[in-house]
Amino acid sequence: MVAGQFETFTVAFYHSAVNYTTLGYGDMVMSKDWRLLAFGWSTAALVTIVIRLGRYRHRAQILISRALAKNS
């Protein structure tokens, strides 16, 4: 909506939900100018999420190994 690609929040939300769940029906598409930017934003968000999840997993493994070492 902010980019002026969709008229209402409902339509913008529908477009986002369909595309982020990888269904991608194709019944609503953004203009070519905005597709690349939206792809970049999505990629950046996914990479950030994966990196953070990796850090949390690593920290959890360290805490678990320390707890096991204390109990041994």
Please give the chain's pLDDT, 72 residues, in tens: 667 888 889 888 888 788 777 666 666 677 766 666 667 777 888 899 999 999 999 999 999 999 999 887
Query: Which amino acid appears at position 35 of this protein?
Result: R
Sign of CA dihedral 16, 44, 37, 26: negative
Model-level pTM greater than 0.85? no
The SS3 assignment for 44 reads: helix
Running DSSP on this structure, what letter comes out for residue 5? Answer: S
Could you tell me the two tokens for 9? 């929040």
Residue 25: both structure tokens together: 């029906």
